[in-house]
Amino acid sequence: MPSPSSTSTDTSSALPEHLDFSLRLQKRAIFRSLRSSKQQTFNAEPSVNDIATRQLADLVDGTMTRAEGNSCLLLGPRSSGKSKMVEICIDNLLTKPIILRLSGWVQTTDRHALREIAFQLLQQTGSSLLSDSDLSNVAATGSSHEEENPFLVTQGAQPIFDGSILSLPPSSHLHSLIPALLTVNRPVVVILDAFDLFALHPRQSLLYCLLDTVQNCRASAESRGIAVIGMTSRVDTIQLLEKRVKSRFSGRTIRTASHSSFESYLTFVRSSLTATTHGKDTDLAEEWHKRWASSVEIFLTDKAVLDIFKETFNLSRDLKLINRILMACVLQLTPEQPYLTYNHVAIAIAAQQSRSSYLSFPALSYPSTCLLIASVHADTSGHPVFTFEMLFESFRDQVRSSMSAPVQVNGGSIGMAFEVLSAAKIFMPVAGTSSSVAREFMKHRCTLDRATVKKVVEQSGQVNLRKWFSKAQQS
């Protein structure tokens, strides 16, 4: 195949067979780059996240090297790179600290959190002290430190995963375990995901203990430093803290943000799409790469495509959203249609972002459609809450009155259609189920609005149904 210098004709043509594999590799490369999506900046001035990363790195560095007690709060909207930033900072550290990861979603009470701290501590000090030869000299002192830890003392000399550790420690241990964090032989980094949820625990005792320990860190000479990093997207988190907790918190808030300008957003899209494959066959890879790069260029200069991306950007700067959209776009590529077009994006956005509710009801069966129409009729006549019998009655009337009753439907299948619709929660029961009300008299409400039903009816393509539906609009 001659290398395509002509670009515009390419996008419409099918792919030659020998490039099929390259297309698959390309898809794969794009998915990989989307998964490890980083914000890249090509401007001279550093982005918000660059500054934040530097601040965070400085802070952790202070703990690691100077044994400081630090606390900070990472604040930023969803998927703006908070967790990733923390991971990067920790990965860049030369010596490994003890990392305690807690999440407000999982550790819903302080006791759970405490047990999790104990468990992670055990895992990390146990394993690293035994395996790491560099730290072997510290091991002796480390074990003596550990003995001061009242929690670990109970485990005796061989603390390796005895069953008893897994029982919830009484909350009175809280005040002894957390200060003991200072006594272990390595610096400790505590990462609190969903920080705001910890603030909602009663009396905020976990936060109090942690932050109190941070504050006391400077006082004790032997301490190795501790850092508490909270992550949240809730803006008023600091206000949630009690006074005694707030006064122990350093007040340092590091803000993250997603893409600030459409240009950087678009750069991200471009760089994700042109992720390089690691093909072995260089000629083939070269040929493919040329084709693909030119097609992406065409794609990203298309006015309609730019508009639709701009709209998405204006609606949400969530990186995960654009990831999903790009993923759905790329998944639609086939050897017959190997290059991205506006249609791909439109379909992807319809499926992933602006999900219209009728999308999920592509083709309902005939009885279900009838019931939907009947429910619209019931709504029009002033009864938004209906029973199955009401719908069935109106359906029977319709069959009786219009001569063009298309298919005879008896009780059986239309009743099943009602079951299907309520299983799909299109018909929601108004009250809870009770044994005293027969099923056909259970009161329901339709969750679809008239416009959606209209689309469903139009899709079904039956004239008599459409007529019946339009009767409801006149009244």
Partner 1 sequence: MENIQCPIPGYENLADEFGTLISTYPPPFIYIQDTQALRTTLNAIDALLRDLSNLPASSTNPSKIYYSRVDCVASFTSRLFYEAVINTLVGWEPSWEDGCANWSAEGAVGGKWNESMDMFLHGLRAAASTCGSRIKSQSDYDVRFVIVVERAERLKESLPEIIVPLTRLSELSRIDLSVVFISQVGWEDIRPPLGASPDPYYIDIQAPSKESLYPHPLVQHSLTPLTPYHPALESLYSHFVTTLCDVCFPFTHDPNELQYITAARWPGFCKPLLDEHKRRQRKPENEDTDVDMDVDPEDEDREVLHDRGMDFLFQPSTDTRMRLNKLFNPTLSNALEALLPRLSNAADWAKKNEPPPDLLSLPPGQAHLGQSQASKDSSAAAEATSMRFLPRMSKFILLASFVASTNPAKSDIRIFGRGLDEKKRKRRRAAPKMSAKKKSAGPSKVSQRLLGPTSFPLDRMLAILGALLEENEAEWKLPSPQFTIPGEETDMDISRVGIYASVMELTSMRLLHRASPPDRLDGPPQFKCVISHDMALVLAKQLDVALNDLLWDPM
| 361 binds partner 1, rule: CB under 8 A | yes
Contact 219, 254 (CB under 8 A): no
Ranges within 104-123 binding partner 1 (CB under 8 A): 105-108, 112, 115-116, 119
* Residue listed under structure tokens 């809280």: 174
Nearer to partner 1, 299 or 418 (CB): 418
How far, in Å, CA of 272 to CA of 253, rounded?
Answer: 31
Backbone torsions φ then ψ of 221, nearest 5 degrees: -80, -35
235 binding partner 1? (CB under 8 A) = no
Interacting residues with partner 1 between 432 and 451 (CB under 8 A): 436-438, 440-441
Q: Rule CB under 8 A: which of 272-301 touch partner 1?
A: none
CB-count exposure of residue 332 (10 Å: 0-12, 13-18, 19+): middle
Task: Residue 77: count other Cβ atoms within 10 Å of its Cβ.
Answer: 17
424 touching partner 1, by CB under 8 A: yes
Q: Single out the segment in contact with partner 1 by CB under 8 A; choices: 45-53, 54-62, 129-137, 319-327.
A: 319-327
Q: What is the closest distance, in whole angstroms, from the C-beta atom of residue 103 to partner 1 in the complex?
A: 6
Q: Which residue has the tokens 């610096």?
A: 187
Binding of residue 352 to partner 1 (CB under 8 A):
yes
Q: Taking CB under 8 A as the rule, which mask of x and - marks residues 194-233 in contact with partner 1?
A: ----------------------------------------
Q: Binding segment for partner 1 among 1-9, 103-111, 148-156, 265-273 (CB under 8 A)? A: 103-111
The only residue of 7, 11, 103, 271 in contact with partner 1, by rule CB under 8 A: 103
Select the residue interacting with partner 1 from 53, 79, 185, 312 (CB under 8 A).
79
Q: How far is Cα 211 from Cα 178, in angstroms, rounded to an integer?
A: 10
Of 220-228, 298-306, 339-347, 348-356: span binding partner 1 (CB under 8 A): 348-356
Rg (C-alpha) for the chain, rounded Å, is 31
Which range, of 7-15, 250-258, 338-346, 356-364, touches partner 1 by CB under 8 A?
Answer: 356-364
**Closest to partner 1 by CB, 192 or 217:** 192
- Number of residues binding to partner 1, judged by CB under 8 A: 71
Residue 128 binds partner 1 (CB under 8 A): no
C-beta separation of 163 from 180 below 8 A = no
**Does 156 contact partner 1 by CB under 8 A?**
no
Burial of residue 69, with CB atoms counted within 10 A of its CB: 0-12 exposed, 13-18 middle, 19 or more buried: buried
- When the beta carbons of 6 and 410 are compared against partner 1, the nearer one is 410
Q: For the chain, what's the residue count?
A: 475
User: Can residue 237 be called a binding residue for partner 1 (CB under 8 A)?
Assistant: no
Q: Which stretch binds partner 1 (CB under 8 A): 89-97, 135-143, 338-346, 420-428?
A: 420-428
Residue with tokens 């009242």: 150
Between 67 and 85, whose beta carbon lies closer to partner 1?
85
Shorter beta-carbon distance to partner 1: residue 278 or 303: 278
Nearer to partner 1, 84 or 186 (CB): 84
- For residue 428, give the nearest of 448, 411, 414 by alpha carbon: 448
Contact 229, 61 (CB under 8 A): no
Least distance in angstroms from the C-beta of 381 to partner 1: 5
Residue type, 382: G
> Which position among 73, 85, 217, 364 is part of the footprint of partner 1 (CB under 8 A)?
364
Query: What is the nearest approach in angstroms of partner 1 to the Cβ of residue 193?
Result: 8
Q: Which is nearer to partner 1, 211 or 421 (CB)?
A: 421
Stretch that binds partner 1, among 157-165, 182-190, 241-249, 449-457 (CB under 8 A): 157-165
Window of 20-28, 172-180, 223-231, 261-269 that interacts with partner 1 by CB under 8 A: 20-28
Question: How many whole angstroms separate alpha carbon 42 and alpha carbon 58?
Answer: 23
Least distance to partner 1 from the beta carbon of 232, Å?
A: 12
- Compute how many other C-beta atoms are within 10 angstroms of the C-beta atom of residue 421: 25
One of 44, 94, 423, 463 touching partner 1 (CB under 8 A):
423
- State the binding string over 377-416 for partner 1 (x if CB under 8 A, else -): ----xxx---x-xx--x-------------xxxxxxx-xx
Output the smallest distance, CB 207 to partner 1, in A: 18
Binding mask 21-40 for partner 1 (x = CB under 8 A): ---xx-xx--xx-xx-----
Report angle CA 421, 385, 408 to the nearest 5 degrees. Answer: 50
